[in-house]
Amino acid sequence: MTSMAPSSTTTGKTDDLLFRKISWRLLPVLCLCYVFNYLDRTNVGYAQLQMKEHLALSDAVFGIGASIFFVGYALFEVPSNMLLARIGVRATLLRIMGLWGLASAAMMFVATPTQFYILRFLVGVFEAGFAPGVLYYLTLWFPRRRLAQATALFFMAFSLAPIVAGPTAGAIMTWLDGARGMRGWQWLFVLEGIPCVLLGIMAFATLPDRPEQAGWLDDAERDRIAHLLRADAPTSTTHGGGGVRAAIRDARVWVLGFVSFLVILGIYALAFWKPTLLKGMGLSIMQVGLVATIPAACGVAASLLIGRHSDRTGERRWHFAIAALVAAVGLMLTTLFPKDPLPAILCLTLVSIGTSSAFTVLWSMPGGILTGQRAAAGIAIISTVGGSAGMVAPAAVGAIKAATGSFTLSLYLLSLALVLAAVILVTWFRPRDAGPVVEGSIQAR
């Protein structure tokens, strides 16, 4: 009797179960960490609603303080990610989250602009390497045909975090203002900083560095993962070898980094200044926190739907471009309603839908370019270039608002940046980028 080899359908279903199991083991912890990562880097946007009055900080001072975070972040991003490749994710997350949590909580002691600048810089230094480190970590577990979905699920936390950020900040700053002699903004930094230390300990205790160290996988499952990852390995050094130097020489890395920079300009400008924009329309701090959840929730839903459709069709360029253009239109329309909350919220919802979806699709692309040590360096470079928008956006918006008295010019400039991002991605990468996800191929013109 001749034995029958397992069919491709059976193998596919078995792999689906395997990677669903991996996703449920890894992604909840990573996503929770990412939510607090977002909270601790952007909570100053809500805190400043009380800080500026309490500490007599100007819009320009706040803008510089919000931006200087990203100076520290950019300087230490690549070194942190290269260290992760050597010592593993468990030790890296423990270091990153423990230090950034303590530095963020220490923001409660700020009394002068100089102290504000120093602590924001240190929070950036300690957070450096978190997101690109996780992206590299995912490449150790998921083959390229499944990496886009895992990446999208992880970045869903980035879209989900604003839903938590607004009501949480509003409640803390309203209900705890004056408790034990502390202002609400001080409680905000403490209650969103200390949990990061605990999450770092939890990540260290629960996340294995590699599949071969996962006690919840059996030998057959570990072998299957190793086989799929080996099948993904490039046959030449075109995509995988060379580490930092090869990643630096890869033009595609810099193009994706610049496109990310243009998108993140809008994301961070709104993250830090949206509370002020809404408060200027006559809303209370609690109302600002609650209203801010509407664009965020719509952004999460849109990123999941558009990310899933992009995965199913294998098309990236136009999914990204259309999403970026939707965000650009939303920003331009927002300028028409400087004092009217309802239409302004609808316009900001378009912005959130566009930026969240564009960001998700964009970050599904690097996994098809790089592998191995080159992936660690390349992802860190893309993240560093993109994240450097945080140095520009809050300070620039603050300076423009101080000079003009409104957000109108800033919103127009951010809209143009999104249009430019769409044009660059569509024209630089070939249509074959819309090919099957299983190939994970991204070729530049």
Domains in the chain (CATH in brackets) are 22-439 (1.20.1250.20)
Average pLDDT, the chain: 83
Q: What would the pLDDT profile of 148-161 be if each residue is shown by its tens digit?
A: 678 778 877 877 78
What is the average pLDDT across 326-340? 87
Exposure b/e, 185-223, CB count within 10 A at least 16 = b: bbbbbbbbbebbbebbebbbeebbbebeebeebeeebee
Tell me what pLDDT residue 394 has: 76
pLDDT at 43: 87
The SS3 assignment for 298 reads helix
Q: Is pLDDT of 413 > 50? A: yes
pLDDT tens digits for range 57-111: 887 888 888 788 888 888 887 788 778 878 888 899 899 999 999 999 999 999 9
pLDDT at 196 over 60: yes
First-to-last alpha carbon distance for the chain, in angstroms, is 54
Give the model confidence (pLDDT) of 222-246 as tens digits. 999 999 888 866 544 444 445 667 7
8-state DSSP, 129: T
What percentage of the chain exceeds 70 in pLDDT? 88
Q: pLDDT tens for residues 242-260? A: 566 777 888 888 999 999 9
- Interhelix angle for 59-87 vs 113-127, to 10°? 20
Q: Check residues 211 and 167 and name the one with the higher pLDDT.
A: 211
pLDDT at 303: 84
Q: What angle do CA 51, 52, 56 make, to 5 degrees?
A: 115
State whether the Cα torsion 272-379-257-309 is positive or negative.
negative
Instruction: For residues 74 and 35, give the distance between their C-alpha atoms in angstroms, rounded to a whole number.
Output: 20
Instruction: Compute the average pLDDT of residues 331-346.
Output: 84
Collapse the DSSP code of 78 into the 3-class scheme (helix H, G, I; strand E, B; otherwise coil) and give the result.
helix
Tokens linked to 375? 């992936």
What pLDDT score was predicted for residue 132? 79
| % of the chain at pLDDT higher than 90 | 34
Q: Which residues of 129-149 are buried (b: 16+ CB within 10 A; e: fewer)?
A: bbbbbbbbbbbbbbbbbbbbb
pTM: 0.74
The highest-confidence range among 213-217, 273-277, 364-368, by mean pLDDT, is: 213-217
Confidence of residue 186 (pLDDT cuts 50, 70, 90): very high
- What was the pLDDT predicted at 372? 59
Tokens standing for residue 342: 């309802």
Query: Taking 90 as the threshold, does the pLDDT of residue 189 lie above it?
Result: yes
Residue 324: pLDDT band (50, 70, 90) is very high
Between residues 261 and 284, the one the model is more confident about = 261
Q: Which residues, at least 6 apart from 162, have a Cβ–Cβ distance to it below 8 Å?
A: 38, 271, 292, 293, 295, 296, 299, 352
Q: Which residue has the higher pLDDT, 287 or 116?
A: 116
pLDDT band at 119 (very low <50, low <70, confident <90, very high): very high
Q: Read off the pLDDT of residues 354-408 as tens digits, 9 standing for 90 and up.
A: 998 898 888 778 766 665 566 667 777 887 788 788 778 777 877 887 788 777 8
Return the SS3 of 429. strand
- Tokens of residue 201, six digits: 């300990």
> Residue 12 pLDDT more than 80?
no
- The pLDDT value recorded for residue 386 is 86
Q: What is the average per-residue pLDDT within 282-304?
A: 82
Alpha helix positions (H), 7-112: 8-55, 59-87, 89-105
The pLDDT of residue 125 is 92
